[in-house]
Structure 1
Amino acid sequence: MMKIADNKKAYHDYFILEKIEVGIVLTGTEMKSIRKRRLNLKDSYGTVVKGEIFLEGVHISPFEEGNRFNHEPLRTRKLLLHKRQISRLIGKIKEEGLTLVPLSFYFNERGKVKVSLGLAKGKKLYDKRHVLAKKESDRQIERALKEKIIND
Structure 2
Amino acid sequence: MIPVSTKRRKWQGGLTLVELIVAITILIALSSMALPMARYKVRREKERDLRNALMQIRTAIDKYKDLADQGQLGTQKVGSENYPETLEILVEGVKIPGAQEKKIRFLRRMPIDPFTKSSDWGKRSVKDDPKSQSWGGDNVFDVYSKTMEKAPDGTPYSDW
TM-score w.r.t. structure 1 length?
0.23
Larger strand share, 1 or 2: 1
Instruction: Report the structure, 1 or 2, having the larger helix content.
Output: 2
- Higher Cα radius of gyration: 2
> Which fold has the larger relative contact order, with Cα–Cα distance below 8 Å and residues 6 or more apart in sequence?
1
Return the TM-score normalized by structure 2.
Answer: 0.22
